[in-house]
Amino acid sequence: MTTQFTRRLDRAVRIEWPTMALIAGCYLIWFGAGFVLWHSLPITALVILTLVVALQSSLMHEASHGHPTRNALFNELLVGLPVGLVWPYRRFKSIHLRHHADERLTDPFDDPESYYKALWQYQAMPGWLQQLLVINNTMVGRFFLGPLLSNAGFVAGDLKLLAAGDRAIWRAWLHHAAGLGFVIPILVFVFEMPFWAYLVPVYFGQSIISIRTYAEHRWSERPDGRTLIVEHTPLALLFLNNNLHYVHHKLPTAPWYALPKLFRERRDEWLKANDGYYYANYLALVRDFAFRPKQTVAHPVLRREAEPGRAFRPRVRTQNIHGLGTAPAPAKRSDD
């Protein structure tokens, strides 16, 4: 099913105009909210900018999977303007595509988007950090603390990699700096918005995305049982239909606007294939997990013990975007 769909799509569509229109609209609304609304309706402007930051994050995700054109550099130019300030597009893309190895989903080391920790890693943490991560596993905690922990872990990890001289990461951050050199003067001199004020939509835009990512994956013996489907949400456009996350993982090259139809056509098959990991809407998740952790911090099965006879040294591929720094994965044995 996946291969046939991809081939048909590639033959029929070279430029995905709905996505192109959404990208243009995203940046126009961003500019309008800052330039037109900030001085007369500042609260309204901040709310709109928060939604724009969330949407642009989803557009970065869409572009990382080869949309809206078949030219990766052009896609980067379309979505690489860093209105969310923190994430270089190339770093997001490289981390996210590693996450799509479904057989390794939720692995604390091999899945860079996993919220799980290795048991021995968790036990070595100070008590205050353990408790902070427990709170972060509630939905309210993820909304208010998640961006702080994610950004701190990502930036701290990349600073180490930059200090180690990783050229690809240097290039990603230099591209990002060039984009910031365009965005920040607009904020300060065109919008005439204090930089601290803009940090509010930057932070809560990520919080909105955390609603989607909060329960996207769980541990299951079957890889297909690890990915969630949330059928209904008014936030579907902001999420570019990634609430149908299992469908996205099985058809990662399908554009966002095709996902609802693909799900409806085989609804029962999708729900059977992912072992019924399903919520009707995000309110149901809030009811279940607003103040109760959805899962343990330590992975229930994987990485329960440190591997003996190996040196623990961070690898680039194991950087975790939801912790405080890189995940210290085992280095190769000296006799490998």
pLDDT one-digit tens code per residue, 174-192: 999 999 999 999 999 999 9
Percent of the chain with pLDDT over 70: 88
Judged against a pLDDT cut of 90, whether residue 65 lies above it is answered with: yes
| Stated pTM of the model | 0.86
Contact between residue 315 and residue 331 where contact means Cβ atoms under 8 Å apart? yes
* Distance (Å, whole) CA 289 – CA 266: 29
* Distance (Å, whole) CA 78 – CA 80: 6
Q: Give the pLDDT band (50/70/90) at residue 169.
A: very high
* Distance (Å, whole) CA 66 – CA 40: 39
Judged against a pLDDT cut of 80, whether residue 330 lies above it is answered with: no
In the prediction, which pLDDT does 323 show? Answer: 42
In the prediction, which pLDDT does 248 show? Answer: 97
Judged against a pLDDT cut of 60, whether residue 66 lies above it is answered with: yes
Buried residues in 246-262 as b, exposed as e (16+ CB within 10 A): bbbbbbeebbbbbbeeb
Q: Name the one residue in this structure whose structure tokens are 């800052």.
A: 34
In the prediction, which pLDDT does 288 show? Answer: 96
In the prediction, which pLDDT does 293 show? Answer: 97
* Distance (Å, whole) CA 91 – CA 104: 20
Q: Name the one residue in this structure whose structure tokens are 């994430």.
A: 87
Alpha-carbon torsion, ordered 196, 202, 204, 208, to 10 deg: 180
In this structure, the number of other CB atoms found within 10 A of the CB of residue 315 comes to: 15
Q: Give the pLDDT band (50/70/90) at residue 318.
A: very low
User: Is residue 325 packed enough to be buried (19+ CB in 10 Å), middle (13-18) or exposed (0-12)?
Assistant: middle
How many Å separate Cα 149 from the centre of its chain? 13
Contact between residue 190 and residue 35 where contact means Cβ atoms under 8 Å apart? yes
How many Å separate Cα 174 from the centre of its chain? 21
